[in-house]
């Protein structure tokens, strides 16, 4: 039992693992060969929602505590990282229930059924890591905002009912978030093919004079939420901190680190089993010293990565001033480590490690994908550098 987990967390992990092995694992590897369809995403979201996980949990309180979020991200990613991405990146639907009336009406039934798919649209073709200066604009026109621009590399974009879009509010000249539904607006998307996370749909989104009610500005929606007083989201500790937006990013980054822990766990289990079974030179390869060294490195990466991730989750949960630093340290370090671990596990498998008949190449492709979204490793290094020195290396 991990020092970080109490009985309740252990129970969540064990029951989720049992469910995933019975209900989701049999779908693999076929389910990961191409992006899941919208119907498939809804089915998975509702299935996990019934277990109290993710945006499909309509009775739930929105954001799970950071350690539960880490554990669920880890366990789902041990089986299928793409599913975790689709589920977690659907979280903006939690805010949609407090958007303008028109949006609420458009999404109401889907939200009630846990069938609404969301996405978070930050990255731009000309902006990339520089998310502080969006080219996408939101112009106030009466009681609406008119949004123009383009986003890219957005998880769930091709199947989303709504997007939380980062744009510059031309009135305030500040970066802000806007809820845009794709039901009342005609929004074009284009699917992007990629190396890993194959089962997770990713795409570009184009906003051409898209109109949304003024209540769709996130801050207005959050105020509606507080005024309604019926949402546990508003009471969530994360939103009680001095900088709720940064707290949310730290939460998400910790979840990304946890995904890499899940991939490492899967790679570790596979490599260990194979090392014991595969016989070359008259005995199991696990008896050769250089293979044992690989198992040592894999296990060390897994254990260290898990401890760092859980520690980051603990700090996020407590609103610790070091939460931002720890979550970036975890996202940067653990995601890079998972690439090394998956690579070592492939080596233990020899030629079979490269075969699509075995899961190792998928673990590698999924691990390799982890170092870019949600802030590249380099950006995490700069965040940590800034937190440590007080000096920002970027604007
Ligand atoms: C599979 C996948 C899913 C994604 N999902 C989403 C999503 O749901 N929503 C969303 O908004 N975005 C998403 N993204 C986008 C992701 O967040 C960006 O790809 C990422 O932030 C990097 O931006 P970029 O690709 O434009 O790279 P760039 O910013 O062009 O960077 C290119 C390289 O330069 C380095 N670099 C850039 N600036 C600096 C600097 N100041 N110092 C040192 N190095 C630097 C980067 O680290 C990187 O190595 C996703 C991306 C992928 C691949």
Helix (H, G, I), strand (E, B) or coil at 24: coil
Residue 157 alpha carbon, nearest atom of ligand 1: 8
| Pair 29, 192: CB distance under 8 Å | no
Token pair 């999404």 is found at 107
Name the nearest CA neighbour of 48 among 106, 91, 5: 91
What is the chain's Cα-based Rg?
21
- 373 Cα to the center of ligand 1, angstroms: 6
DSSP 8-state class, residue 114: T
Q: 68: closest CA among 76, 56, 79, 58?
A: 76
Residue 40 has a CB neighbour count (10 Å cut-off) of 17
How confident is the model at residue 58, as a pLDDT?
87
The candidate with the shortest Cα–Cα distance to 63, out of 308, 316, 307, 322, is 316
Q: Which tens digit of pLDDT belongs to each residue from 53-88?
A: 999 998 887 789 999 999 999 999 999 999 999 999
Average pLDDT score, the chain: 94
Q: CATH: 3.90.105.10, 1.20.140.10, 1.10.287.110, 3.30.420.130. Which one for 244-389?
A: 1.20.140.10
Measured at the CA of 143, the angle between CA 131 and CA 182, to 5 degrees, comes to: 55
Query: What is the longest distance spanned by two Cα atoms in the chain?
Result: 79
Bridge partners, residue 138, by sequence: 147, 169
Which atom of ligand 1 is least distant from the CA of 194?
A: 1
Phi and psi, residue 126, nearest 5°? -95, 0
The closest alpha carbon to 74, from 250, 217, 265, belongs to 265
Contact 189, 152 (CB under 8 A): no
pLDDT in tens, 309-333: 999 999 999 999 999 999 999 999 9
Local confidence band at 231 (pLDDT 50, 70, 90 cut-offs): low
Q: The pTM is what?
A: 0.96
CATH number 2.40.110.10 is the correct assignment for the domain at 118-228: yes
Separation CA 181–CA 162 (nearest Å): 4
Q: What's the CATH fold of domain 7-94?
A: Butyryl-Coa Dehydrogenase, subunit A; domain 1 (1.10.540)
Question: Positive or negative CA dihedral for 49, 50, 51, 52?
Answer: positive
Ligand 1 centroid to 204 CA: how many Å?
A: 14
- Tell me the CA distances in angstroms from 41 to 62, 156, 194, 281, 363, one per residue in order: 18, 9, 18, 47, 21
Six-digit token pair at 45? Answer: 């979201």
Pocket of ligand 1 (CB under 6 A): 89, 119-123, 128-129, 153-155, 194, 197, 202, 369, 372-376, 378-379, 382, 394
The reply to whether 7-94 and 118-228 are identical in fold is: no
The residue count for the chain: 395
Q: Which atom of ligand 1 sits closest to the CA of residue 394?
A: 41
pLDDT for position 224? 76
Task: Please give the distance, rounded to the nearest whole angstrom, from the Cα atom of residue 127 to the centre of ligand 1.
Answer: 9
Domain ranges of the chain: 7-94, 118-228, 244-389
| pLDDT tens digits, 119-164 | 999 999 999 999 989 999 999 999 999 999 999 999 999 999 999 9
């Amino acid at each position: 039992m991990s020092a970080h987990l109490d009985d309740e967390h252990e129970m969540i992990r064990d029951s989720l693992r049992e469910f995933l092995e019975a209900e989701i694992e049999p779908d693999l590897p076929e389910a990961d060969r191409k992006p899941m369809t919208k119907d498939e995403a809804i089915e998975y979201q509702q299935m996990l929602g019934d277990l109290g996980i993710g945006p499909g949990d309509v009775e739930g309180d929105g954001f799970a505590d950071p350690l539960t979020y880490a554990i669920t991200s880890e366990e789902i990613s041990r089986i299928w990282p793409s599913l975790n991405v689709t589920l977690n990146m659907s979280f903006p639907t939690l805010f949609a229930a407090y958007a303008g009336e028109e949006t609420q009406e458009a999404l109401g039934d889907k939200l009630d059924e846990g069938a609404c798919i969301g996405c978070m649209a930050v990255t731009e073709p000309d902006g990339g890591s520089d998310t502080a200066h969006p080219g996408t604009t939101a112009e106030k026109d009466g009681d609406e905002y008119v949004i123009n621009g383009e986003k890219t590399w957005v998880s769930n974009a091709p199947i989303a009912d709504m997007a939380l879009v980062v744009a510059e509010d031309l009135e305030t000249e500040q970066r802000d978030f806007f809820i845009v539904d794709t039901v009342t607006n005609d929004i074009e998307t284009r699917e992007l093919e990629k190396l890993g996370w194959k089962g997770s749909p990713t795409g570009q989104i184009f906003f051409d004079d898209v109109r949304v009610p003024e209540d769709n500005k996130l801050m207005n929606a959050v105020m509606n939420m507080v005024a309604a007083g019926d949402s546990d989201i508003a009471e969530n500790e994360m939103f009680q901190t001095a900088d709720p937006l940064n707290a949310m990013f730290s939460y998400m980054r910790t979840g990304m680190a946890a995904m890499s822990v899940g991939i490492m766990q899967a790679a570790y289990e596979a490599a260990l089993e194979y090392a014991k079974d595969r016989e070359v030179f008259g005995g199991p390869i696990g008896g050769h010293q250089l293979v044992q060294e690989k198992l040592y490195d894999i296990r060390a990466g897994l254990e260290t990565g898990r401890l760092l991730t859980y520690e980051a989750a603990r700090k996020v949960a407590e609103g610790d001033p070091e939460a931002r630093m720890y979550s970036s340290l975890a996202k940067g370090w653990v995601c890079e480590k998972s690439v090394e671990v998956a690579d070592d596990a492939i080596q233990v498998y020899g030629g079979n490690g490269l075969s699509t008949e075995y899961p190792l190449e998928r673990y590698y492709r999924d691990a390799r994908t982890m170092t870019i979204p949600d802030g590249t490793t380099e950006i995490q290094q700069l965040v940590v550098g800034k937190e440590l020195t007080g000096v920002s290396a970027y604007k």
